[in-house]
Amino acid sequence: MQKTLKTFFDFCSGIGSAHLAFKNLDLKCVGYSEIDEKAIKTYELFYGTEYKNYGNLMKINPENLNDFDILVAGFPCQAFSILGYRKGFDDDRGKIIHGLSRIIEIKKPKAFLLENVKGLLSINNGNTMQSILEILKNCGYQVFYKVLKSSDFGIPQKRERIYFVGIRNDLYEKDKQFEFPEKENNKLSTLKDFLVEESDEFIVSGAQYDVFLKYLNNKYNVGKYHIDDLLKLEYLVIDGRQSDLRIYRDCIPTLRTGRQGIMYIKNRKLRKISGLEALLLQGFNIELARKAQENIPKTMILSQAGNAMTVDVMEKIGKCILDYMHG
């Protein structure tokens, strides 16, 4: 049975993290599926208009799709996240897994790679997770899953996500276990490599700066921090999204859609993370990040980056799938 992987289909594509990851692995995209018009515009900005968008995957007739070797999807996480109140299958977005399984069962790709929030493990006492595993296994696949952190793969972001890999039953070797990538202890990267924005427009000043000073003196933070001391700590990351100040060194908190409160110190100035930096912190290259910065509203880039997958992690898992198939 031929196990070579050459093509992929990008479902729930967002702005194309999976596209970039698998393009880096020399696989060809044969189509994608996305319904968010703003994300579609960014996807086309990044990769051109040569790839057909098949739209809502719940309405796709799988027979109309080109064949592909691997299915990739960051299926909607809102239904399974704390922010989405963990409604799971009771939320229409949670039912996307059924749409994906229908496509998997009919198209029978050689492998699949899915991503979702870590909280999926604990919803409904783990029953939701078990249901998803059964759904995927019943499509005819050996299924593996693992929680991985972006910070373990050269991206200084405290992002933890669960990844599912499926190997079609007839291609799985019982004496050859699939292995997820191991933590890369020797890959050095610092925030300085990612927080590269030079524009003064991202410096917190004026009324915004005054609001931050008041925030430092609210009932949760009063007496804990002094602005002069903070400004001496180069590349210190500050998360001001909640009442109490959160401080990070050498990494940033998880980027999420709607999260606008991440700041950092650079050259003794308090700065907001830019869309360009957010994309770099999701593994997009500088060329694509600059293209986005020049063509997309700044708050939209931050939102889209927060909803994206980390390219480096997807690429490392993709490499493990390729090694399994080709080895």
pTM: 0.92
Superfamily of domain 7-182+310-326: Vaccinia Virus protein VP39 (3.40.50.150)
| Closest to 113 in 3D by CA, of 180, 45, 197, 192 | 180
pLDDT value at position 43?
A: 98
Angle at 296 between CA 292 and CA 196, to 5 degrees: 45
Q: Give CATH 3.40.50.150 domain extents, the chain.
A: 7-182+310-326
Whether 77 is catalytic: yes
- pLDDT per residue as tens digits for the range 270-321: 999 999 999 999 999 999 999 999 999 988 999 999 999 999 999 999 999 9
Would you say residue 11 has pLDDT above 60?
A: yes
Q: Percent of the chain having pLDDT more than 90?
A: 80
The residue-averaged pLDDT of 191-199 equals: 95
- pLDDT per residue as tens digits for the range 107-158: 999 999 999 999 889 888 888 899 999 999 999 999 999 999 999 999 999 9
173 pLDDT band, cuts 50/70/90, is: very high
Angle at 21 between CA 20 and CA 23, to 5 degrees: 60
The whole-angstrom separation of Cα 278 and Cα 42 is 14
Q: Alpha-carbon Rg of the chain, whole angstroms?
A: 21
As a whole number, the mean pLDDT across the chain is: 91
Angle at 225 between CA 223 and CA 231, to 5 degrees: 155
pLDDT value at position 260?
A: 66
pLDDT value at position 84?
A: 46
The whole-angstrom separation of Cα 90 and Cα 283 is 32
Q: Of the listed 77, 139, 251, 320, which one is catalytic?
A: 77
pLDDT value at position 187?
A: 62
Contact 300, 40 (CB under 8 A): no
pLDDT value at position 242?
A: 72
The residue-averaged pLDDT of 231-248 equals: 89
The whole-angstrom separation of Cα 120 and Cα 131 is 11
Helix, strand, or coil here: 136? helix
Buried b (16+ CB within 10 A) or exposed e, 110-129: bbbbbbbbbbbeebeeeebb
Angle at 222 between CA 219 and CA 228, to 5 degrees: 150
Residue 255's contacts (CB-CB under 8 Å, 6 or more residues apart) are 157, 159, 262, 278, 281, 282, 302, 305, 306
CB under 8 A, 24+ apart: contacts of 237-240 = 237/191, 237/262, 237/263, 237/264, 238/262, 238/263, 238/264, 238/265, 238/270, 239/263, 240/212, 240/215
Contact 26, 47 (CB under 8 A): no
Would you say residue 49 has pLDDT above 70?
A: yes
pLDDT value at position 319?
A: 97
